[in-house]
């Protein structure tokens, strides 16, 4: 991970920094393609599929853990908002990767398959989840994120405390964020355990521990800076 310049207001410095980011992204893509080709060649040479899944899982966990260790920081600006230096293109890719996660590819796809778009009398239907999920994401990005950046804040509870004053607006915003995130996190954890258990053949509970190990190490040590790169 490159060390980010302290000042990116100079156009020349910013261009050099962005070129360096693109080079790193290109090397990562080439490395990923090389790894996939290597695994395909190994399978053709007789590598058992019982080993391919664990190798993929172990490699993913190690990459996440390595990024977290390399990006570790104690600076609040780096931890919460990646120093506010990540270009929009990379920020967009990071946001898209967060949205297109296990909750999207497994949980949401399963809801659409079982309930359809319109749903039934007892079920709201998959379209409600799609609209609520995507619409809420866009509303937060357009209506709240600009104020967080403008006011140099990190979280929605910070914004509520600054905007309305007092302790209770912050507490209410924090509770709302926890409640809204709970369902999403549960789906994420379940998806991680399901994928890990299917790839390696281990028990579901152990799969959760294996999958979350690298993710937690990455996010706890590097914060948003590491999450952006994963």
- Asked, for residue 142, whether it belongs to a domain, the answer is yes
- In angstroms, the CA 110 to CA 123 distance is 13
Q: Is residue 230 part of a domain?
A: no
Q: Within a domain: residue 216? A: yes
Q: Cβ neighbours of residue 17 under 8 Å, at least 6 residues apart?
A: 2, 4, 5, 8, 85
Phi, psi at 163, each rounded to 5°: -75, -45
Measured CA to CA in angstroms, residue 76 lies from 79, 91, 159 at distances of: 5, 18, 16
Q: What share of the chain is helix, strand, coil (3-state, %, to 5)?
A: 80, 0, 20
Question: In whole angstroms, what is the distance from residue 205 CA to residue 214 CA?
Answer: 15
Report long-range pairs for 134-140 (Cβ below 8 Å, ≥24 apart): 137/99
Tell me, yes or no, whether 158 lies in a domain: yes
Residue 47, in any domain of the structure? no
1 part of a folded domain: no
What are the structure tokens assigned to 103, written together?
Answer: 């909750």
Tokens found for residue 101: 């996660």
* Angle CA 204–105–27, to nearest 5: 95
pTM of the complete model: 0.65
Sequential pLDDT tens for the chain (230 residues): 444 444 455 677 777 877 888 888 888 889 889 988 998 888 888 888 778 878 887 887 788 777 777 777 777 777 777 777 777 788 778 777 777 777 777 777 777 777 777 766 766 666 777 777 777 778 888 888 888 888 888 888 888 888 888 888 889 988 988 888 787 778 778 887 887 777 777 788 887 887 777 777 777 777 777 777 77
Residues, the chain: 230
**Is residue 2 one of the residues assigned to a domain?**
no
DSSP state of 173: H
78 burial class (0-12, 13-18, 19+ CB within 10 angstroms)? buried
Is residue 179 included in any domain, yes or no? yes
* Rg of the chain, C-alpha, whole Å: 20
Q: What is the residue range of 147's domain? A: 88-220
How many domains is the chain partitioned into structurally? 1
């Amino acid at each position: 991970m490159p060390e980010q310049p302290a000042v990116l207001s100079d156009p020349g410095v910013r261009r050099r920094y962005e070129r360096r980011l693109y080079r790193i992204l290109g090397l990562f893509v080439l490395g990923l393609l090389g790894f996939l080709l290597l695994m395909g060649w190994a399978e053709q040479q007789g590598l058992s599929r019982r080993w391919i899944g664990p190798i993929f899982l172990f490699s993913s966990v190690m990459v996440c853990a390595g990024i977290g260790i390399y990006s570790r920081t104690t600076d609040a600006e780096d931890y919460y908002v990646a120093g506010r230096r990540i270009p929009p293109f990379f920020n967009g890719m990071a946001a898209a990767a967060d949205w297109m996660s296990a909750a999207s590819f497994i949980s949401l796809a399963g809801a659409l398959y079982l309930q359809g778009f319109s749903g039934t009398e007892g079920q709201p239907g998959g379209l409600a989840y799609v609209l609520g999920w995507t619409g809420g994401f866009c509303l937060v990005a357009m209506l709240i994120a600009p104020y967080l950046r403008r006011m140099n804040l990190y979280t929605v509870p910070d914004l509520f405390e600054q905007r309305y004053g007092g302790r209770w607006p912050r507490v209410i915003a924090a509770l709302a964020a926890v409640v809204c995130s709970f369902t999403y996190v549960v789906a994420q954890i379940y998806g991680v355990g399901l994928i890990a258990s299917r790839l390696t053949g281990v028990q579901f509970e152990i799969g959760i521990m294996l999958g979350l190990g690298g993710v937690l190490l990455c996010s706890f040590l590097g914060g948003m800076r590491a999450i952006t790169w994963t």
